[in-house]
Structure 1
Amino acid sequence: MTDAADVLTVDARAFLVALHREFDDRRRELLADRAARLARLRGGELPDFLAETASVREGDWRIAPFPEEIGDRRCEITGPVDRKMVINALNSGARVFMADFEDANSPTWENCVQGQRNLTDALDRTIELVTPDKEYRLVDDPAMLFVRPRGWHLDERHFEVDGVAMSGSLFDFGLYFHRNHGRNGRYFYLPKLESHLEARLWNDVFGFAQDTLGVPRGTIKATVLIETILAAFEMDEILHELREHSAGLNAGRWDYIFSVIKKLGHRPEFVLPDRSAVTMAVPFMRAYCELLVKTCHRRGAHAMGGMAAFIPSRRDPDVNRIALEKVTEDKEREAAQGFDGTWVAHPDLVPVATAAFDAVLGDRPNQIDRQRDDVTLSAADLLDVAATPGDVTEEGLRNNVSVGIQYLAAWLGGNGAVAINNLMEDAATAEISRSQIWQWLRHGAVTIDDVRRIVADEADHLGPGFDRARILFDEVATGDDYVEFLTVPAYDDLVAHEPTGATA
């Protein structure tokens, strides 16, 4: 049983209860809106820019200024909230560490509670870890800490209010901000938004939290991950809703690909080839990135690039060389497009990404003053998935099965960020893996016999200990009904297998 009394103090509990009672009904209404929108897409509707918000897109406005201490974000590192990762990431030389309670975190009660302790210790500069092999302590000038709470769709089953599980978003944000608003714990990343109305809810949460705790409005600054195809059509509107609290937008590339399949994968023109073929250079991904940069810079906001998931190998020089070449190419492309910074998943990639942006930025903190007036994009450009080159191959299918089962096994075991085949896999890449299989089955690109054969092969290859993961993966990859988020049924399994008493 995890003792959380030092984290969930009487005052912290009261604050969380207040957040739930104030905002949970609106959260559930917005989730219902998501379901209704998905039904319309299934009925033939395609995403488009909103007619009712044209004045926002056409208006001459900018977000509120952000603090100088986050003006330079040329390289950010991301990862889960375990103690070793927090120390190593803060010491990595990156400008920002995004501590992730979402896609890189398996939300066991132990992970969520201990993660809160770790981040407070990090802000206090007292965090350390002593193992038989090594001692970990902070350097004098660590990275700036940003925190990503869970998405609006996820619950925290271990903390109930009025007999109802609390929103994971409100729990992660509320507990962190309550504990750390006096320690400069005010920077956030917001995941999985699908509309400006969901951004409005976050803005109201920020206002309520600051007012309740006596913190000036605008203290909180948040970067929104544009990682759904629907949010890509509302980037101006999202920045506008959060303009008092905005720190920019991020190109969340892996979840974006997953979202395209989820929202539009029932249509044959949106069938994607092997995951490895869906690069940032294909037309629909390039359009999304260029529109994000143009939108952000027009509004005085940071445009943050996507994740480099490659893991350098300190044992295999050839693997290492190829990984560094690919990351360099990716980051040079982003810097040339006008992004102000980018993400990496491993400390060894920080110098590579930083060098790519140094070459463009020089001594400037960012390139927000570079307006992308040359970019003119339509809804058709964002939806031009059919122009993606590549094929569906058995190798791609096998990779999706292998990665999906291995990642799920790790997640169910409490680890949300896993190195597989020299890539850092998290929930987003597992979502792509199972979603592609579901899509390929629906459109006849693969057969159920193909999938069953490869699942059996991979199960034999992996050996014992993968049964729970294999069964769950099979259900979400081959079931008749598409499961919107893999992590929802996985969380059911996770909670069912946690030790008795693992709750608030």
Structure 2
Amino acid sequence: MTQQEMTTELHFTRDFSYQEQQVLTDGAIRFLTELVQKFSPRRKELLENRLINQKKIDDGALPDFIMETASIRDSEWTIRGIPDDLLDRRVEITGPVERKMVINALNANVKVFMADFEDSLAPGWEKVIDGQLNLRDAVKGTISFINEQGKEYSLNPDPAVLICRVRGLHLPEKHVLWQGEAIPGGLFDFALYFYHNYRALLDKGSGPYFYLPKTESYHETAWWSEVFSYAEDRFELPRGTIKATVLIETLPAVFQMDEILYSLRDHIVGLNCGRWDYIFSYIKTLKNHADRVLPDRQSVTMDKPFLSAYSRLLIKTCHRRGAFAMGGMAAFIPSKDAERNAWVLDKVRADKELEASNGHDGTWVAHPGLADVVMDVFNRTLGERKNQLNISRSQDSEITAQQLLEPCPGERTEEGMRANIRVAVQYIEAWISGNGCVPIYGLMEDAATAEISRTSIWQWIRHEKTLSNGKVITRELFHTMLDEEMQVIRQEVGETRFTQGRFADAAQLMERITTQETLIDFLTLPGYALLD
């Protein structure tokens, strides 16, 4: 490869099979190359800014609202507008871009399917390429699937609206290099989905809609706004054709919601309470602050003051600007046991009633079996309305930084620590085996809950916290529990599954990211090295 080729061209580390040739066409590669060349350098700066900001917090500062952008928060303005087919988003289902999942999700009793290239997908090369093909076929309406028993799956006449969640700013696509470095995974996902589907989506009265994850500042959403505007200009589309919903799932972002909406005002339609990642980010961001260590994750629920403040501020901020305020994930899985299933539905119903009464415009489920009960909750709340943009929460007192950072009471139990270990190890094992969306102990787990599990233990060790039974949490205690819980996992999954799986690799990775001196930002970064 010449120096000129290194500067201008992308290098693919895999040969193109028939599948790749359908997705990585000459036109798609040209468009991707343009985006990478134009926007990769700034993305690198944005990631460096994250490190600089985190260093200040590690050294004792606390996140706060930004003085320099007070004029944006204080002035009156609204976003550009919301397309007709996104006005009603009362129930959304999320899941990976696997073929059967795409069909079942689009056919579920929901308004929107968020097809996920991020937290619920382990981004092996074949899965990413297949995912783009699956979404292309879904947009065309031609997607079908036949399982091993011969059962055929196809789309219903009126499927849910499709939104694509691209990978976060921090995640690379290691199979495509530019100037010797892996390109941004989010640009790869965006370029291919947009290029292959924007015209068909517009022709059917929809559009290229995206979810943007893991945002930490309005500078990052301003970057995405430039990406979107470039794509619109490149294909001679009106400004605002591309629409995005931003997940507020990091602690720094909750202090910049007005600024995030403003930076993306031509393209944004709403914000979403990504609650599980938000809890993970609270731990990670405040990792050096011994007075803000969270208890067992099972006790960190949305009625806790710091999470309630987050939800209510998001609603108030969004509705003031004419944007949707989407609720968080119900991760429960329906059970075949009638008593257990009744308990699950009661828990989900109560959670969604709280969101609906607070003023959220819609919410998420992870399983089609929860769609009916959640739809019923929002139907009763909304009545004839399509959303709750009229709920201003203007009567609320001002939500302060202190409320958003308030420590969360609760116990740290040995049972909770052991459960954290088992969940994290089993999820990591599934992820490095190629599966990013995993049912574990009655919950549909994705990367976020595994992140909470391992960062909680890291922080407990870091600050020498004590369990409710008096044991001091040390590396040695963790190692002992890890060894013991690996045997529990072996018994639960069976000897064959255990020995044929990648549990040893998962335990080794879990040990490294939980006990090393410096906390790794995302387990998916070292995990990605173990994926093909």
Shorter-normalised TM-score: what interval? over 0.9
| CA distance in structure 2 between the partners assigned to 1:28 and 1:389 by the alignment | 38
List per-residue Cα deviations over 1:201-243 (Å, max 9, x = no partner).
0000000111112222100110000000100000000000111
TM-score, normalised relative to structure 1: 0.96
| 1:502 alignment counterpart | none
Pairwise CA distance, 1:163 = 2.5
Structure 2: how far apart are the matches of 1:395 and 1:174? 45
- Provide the aligned C-alpha RMSD in A: 1.0
Identity score, percent: 52
- Counterpart mapping for 1:149-188 below 5 A: 149-184=166-201, 185-188=207-210
Post-superposition CA distance 1:124-153 (Å, at most 9, x none): 010000123211000011000000000000
* Whole-angstrom CA distance in 2 between matches of 1:457 and 1:478: 17
Q: Secondary structure at the match of 2:333?
A: coil
What does 1:58-207 align with in structure 2 at a 5 Å threshold? 58-133=74-149, 134-184=151-201, 185-207=207-229
In structure 2, the residue matched to 1:357 is: 378
Amino acid of the structure 1 residue aligned with 2:478: V
Is residue 416–residue 426 contact of structure 1 (8 Å, CA) maintained in 2? yes
Match of 1:472 among 495, 504, 509: 509
- Which secondary structure state, in structure 1, belongs to the residue aligned with residue 476 of structure 2? helix
Which of 405, 418, 425 pairs up with 1:405?
425
2:371 counterpart letter in structure 1: V
Could you say which residue in structure 2 is the equivalent of 1:447?
474
Unaligned runs of 5+ in 2: 1-14, 202-206, 466-472, 491-498
Query: Partner of 2:395 in structure 1?
Result: 374
For 1:68 and 1:444, the matched residues in 2 are separated by: 53
Deviations 1:260-298 (A, max 9, x none): 111102111110000000000000000000000000000
Structure 1 residue 358, shift from structure 2 partner:
0.8
**Distance across 2 between alignment mates of 1:141 and 1:473:** 43
Is residue 456 of structure 2 the alignment partner of residue 436 of structure 1? yes
Return the alpha-carbon distance in structure 1 between the equivalents of residues 237 and 26 of structure 2: 20
CA contact 1:151–1:192 (8 Å) conserved in 2 = yes
Q: Is the 8 A contact 1:2 1:110 kept in 2?
A: no
Is the Cα–Cα contact under 8 Å of residues 251 and 282 in structure 2 kept in the other structure? yes
AA aligned to 1:459 is M
AA aligned to 2:262 is: H
Question: Which residue of structure 2 aligns with residue 309 of structure 1?
Answer: 331
Report the equivalent of 1:326: 347
Residue 280 (str. 1) matches residue 307 (str. 2): no
C-alpha contact (below 8 Å) 1:2/1:109 kept by paired residues: no
Secondary structure at 1:310 match in 2:
coil
Kept in 2, the 8 Å contact 1:407–1:418? The answer is yes
Once residues 148 and 504 of structure 2 are traced to their aligned partners in structure 1, the CA distance between those partners, rounded to angstroms, is 33
CA distance in 1, matches of 2:358, 2:423: 31
1:404 maps to a residue whose letter is A
Which shows bigger deviation, 236-245 or 177-186?
177-186
Query: Matches of 1:132 and 1:2 in 2, distance apart?
Result: 27
Deviation at 1:362, TM superposition (A): 0.7
Aligned to 2:360: 339
User: What's the offset of the Cα at 1:396?
Assistant: 0.7
Shift, 1:319, TM fit: 1.7
Match of 2:495 in 1: none
- Deviation of residue 6 (structure 1)? 1.2
Checking the alignment, whether the CA contact within 8 Å between 2:79 and 2:265 is kept in structure 1 is yes
Decide which moves more: 119-128 or 208-217.
Answer: 208-217
One-letter amino acid of the counterpart of residue 79, structure 2: I
Q: Report the CA distance between 1:449 and its aligned residue.
A: 2.5
Choose which of 53, 57, 80 in structure 2 pairs with 1:37.
53
Cα separation, 2, equivalents of 1:330 and 1:393: 24
Q: Which amino acid aligns with 2:530?
A: D
**Residues in 1 aligned to 2:58 and 2:416: alpha-carbon distance in whole angstroms:** 26
Structure 1 CA distance for aligned equivalents of residues 291 and 111 of structure 2: 40
Are 1:300 and 2:315 matched, yes or no? no
Displacement of 1:2: 6.6
- Aligned letter for 1:11? G
Give the letter for the 2:475 counterpart: I
Counterpart of 1:353, as a letter, is V
Contact 2:58 2:287 in 1 (8 A): no
CA contact (8 A) 1:93 1:142 kept: no
Partners of 1:358 and 1:179 in 2: CA distance? 35
What does the per-residue CA deviation read over 1:461-486, in whole Å, with 9 as the maximum and x for residues that have no partner?
Answer: 22333001110011001111110111
Q: Normalising to structure 2: TM-score of the pair?
A: 0.91
C-alpha distance in 2 between matches for 1:118 and 1:391: 45
| Number of aligned positions between the proteins | 492
- Cα distance in 2 for partners of 1:28, 1:162 equals 13
8 Å contact from structure 2 (residues 118, 167) kept in 1: yes
Match of 1:14? Answer: 30
